[in-house]
Amino acid sequence: MKQCKECKKTFELTEFHKNGDATDGHDHRCKSCSNKHRSFRLKLKRTAPDSIGKCECCGKESDKLDLDHCHNDMEFRGWLCRSCNVGIGQLGDDLEGVLKAVAYLSKYTYLQEHKEYEGTRFGHRNGSESQYDLDLRN
């Protein structure tokens, strides 16, 4: 038995397409939801503008780009390389997750540029956390 991540219903494993990349060897969507999603993506690909041959996020040239869409309104957003598409997805597929990652990397870069803070908690001389650090944890 397995729960579909899309419709939240529980089915026998035979109701899920096989997926060698998945931990249990089956897709995370039931066959019905998977078929609906596939149909949606085909329709979106037919109506999407042509790819410009490079990732709209990082600019890397490629003839194999992923169609990116908003998961809330299902609107086409652009063509992305696999790395950018997966990266954005892993960060929550929203601006908040990406901005938290930017803030984290910015803090690290700042600390590298100001080595006098090395060894202190979050780069503060007295070891206290700033509001900036607390915001990153939420």
Considering the domain architecture, whether residues 55 and 42 belong to the same structural domain is answered as no
Considering the domain architecture, whether residues 43 and 55 belong to the same structural domain is answered as no
Given this model, what pLDDT does residue 116 score?
57
Considering the domain architecture, whether residues 30 and 13 belong to the same structural domain is answered as yes
Considering the domain architecture, whether residues 86 and 101 belong to the same structural domain is answered as no
Considering the domain architecture, whether residues 39 and 54 belong to the same structural domain is answered as no
Considering the domain architecture, whether residues 88 and 56 belong to the same structural domain is answered as yes
Q: Which of 29-33, 116-120, 134-138 has maximum average pLDDT?
A: 29-33
Average pLDDT, the chain: 84
| Cα–Cα distance for residue pair 53/41, rounded to 1 Å | 19
Is pLDDT of 73 > 90? no
Higher pLDDT, 81 or 41: 81
Considering the domain architecture, whether residues 85 and 123 belong to the same structural domain is answered as no
Is pLDDT of 84 > 80? yes
| Cα–Cα distance for residue pair 4/11, rounded to 1 Å | 8
Domain that holds residue 26: 1-47
Residue 2: closest CA among 72, 21, 22, 86: 22
Cβ distance 71 to 80 under 8 Å? no
Considering the domain architecture, whether residues 66 and 108 belong to the same structural domain is answered as no
State how beta strands 76-80 and 10-11 pair: unpaired
Domains of the chain: total: 3
Considering the domain architecture, whether residues 84 and 112 belong to the same structural domain is answered as no
Residue 68: closest CA among 79, 58, 59, 57: 79
- How far is C-alpha 19 from the chain's CA centre? 20
